[in-house]
Amino acid sequence: MRLVADRLVRAYGPRRIFGPLSFRVEPGTVFGVSGQNGSGKTTLVKVLTGLVRPSSGGVYLEPASGGGPRTTPRDGTGRLGWCAPDLALYGELTPAENLEFFARVAGRPVAAPEADRRLAEVGLDPVRGRTVRTRFLSTGQRQRVKLAFSTLLDPAVLFLDEPGSNLDDAGRAVVEAVVARQKARGAVVLASNDPRELALATEGVSL
**pLDDT number for residue 176:** 96
| 75 alpha carbon, distance to own chain's centre | 17
Of 90, 50, 83, give the one whose Cα is nearest residue 174: 83
Position 132 scores a pLDDT of 85
CATH superfamily of 2-206: P-loop containing nucleotide triphosphate hydrolases (3.40.50.300)
Alpha-carbon distances of 123 from 30, 141, 147, 171, 203, rounded to whole Å: 23, 9, 11, 8, 28
Residues (pLDDT < 70) of the chain are: 76-78, 129, 134-135
Digit-coded pLDDT (tens) for 79-93: 899 999 889 999 999
**Residue 78: what pLDDT?**
62
Q: How many CB atoms neighbour CB 101 within 10 A?
A: 16
Question: Which residues are CB-contacts of 142 (< 8 A; sequence separation ≥ 6)?
Answer: 89, 132, 166
Phi/psi class of residue 137: alpha, beta or left (left: φ > 0; alpha: ψ in -120 to 50)?
Answer: beta
- CA atoms of 139 and 136, how far apart (whole Å): 10
Nearest Cα residue to 44 out of 12, 80, 13, 18: 18
Return the domain boundaries, the chain: 2-206
pLDDT one-digit tens code per residue, 113-152: 999 999 999 999 877 768 887 667 888 999 999 999 999 9
Give CA–CA dist 203/207, Å, rounded: 14
- What is residue 126's predicted lDDT score, i.e. its pLDDT? 72
